[in-house]
Amino acid sequence: MEIAHIQTPLGIAQIAGNNNGISSISVSDEGTISTTITPVLQAAVAQLNEYFEGKRHSFSFKINPQGTEFQQKVWKALLDIPYGKTRTYLEQSKVLGDVKAIRALASANGKNPLWIVVPCHRVIGTDGSLTGYAGGLWRKKWLLEHENPTNQQSLF
């Protein structure tokens, strides 16, 4: 497993993967930035940097998240939420075909190993609230605003 740490506006992202794909991306407030990036991780690092620069809305590098069959199903459904859009947990449970699975869906979202790339930050509460986010609600708010900035209207 190869690992790199990069600086992002939200903290230090750790990217881990091998020739089978990127298996995890997480963020923390501490860490040491990598001085070299191995070829296996270069596409992920470049694309994450482009995302934060506002130049990328989707990711094309190979991913390989590890999880249960249900978690994999939930994470795959998250990939269908477009950049700049949100879905509620209820809407997402309907996409999965079981409205009673909201709690299980929320749990699987919380175990998403691919920060930003599998966009669990785009799932919100039915009332529009920013419920639950492993990286902290302030990061979820930042990501949603980054993807859908409010333009200041001119009075003149």
Active-site residue list: 120
Both tokens of residue 125?
Answer: 């509460």
Both tokens of residue 27?
Answer: 């963020």
Are 72 and 111 in contact, with CB atoms under 8 Å apart? no
Residues paired with 87 in a beta bridge: 123
* Beta-carbon count within 10 A of 9 CB: 10
Are 133 and 43 in contact, with CB atoms under 8 Å apart? no
**φ and ψ of 132, to 5 deg:** 45, 120
Give the chain's end-to-end CA distance (angstroms, integer): 56
Length of the chain: 156
Helix (H) or strand (E) holding 91: helix 89-95
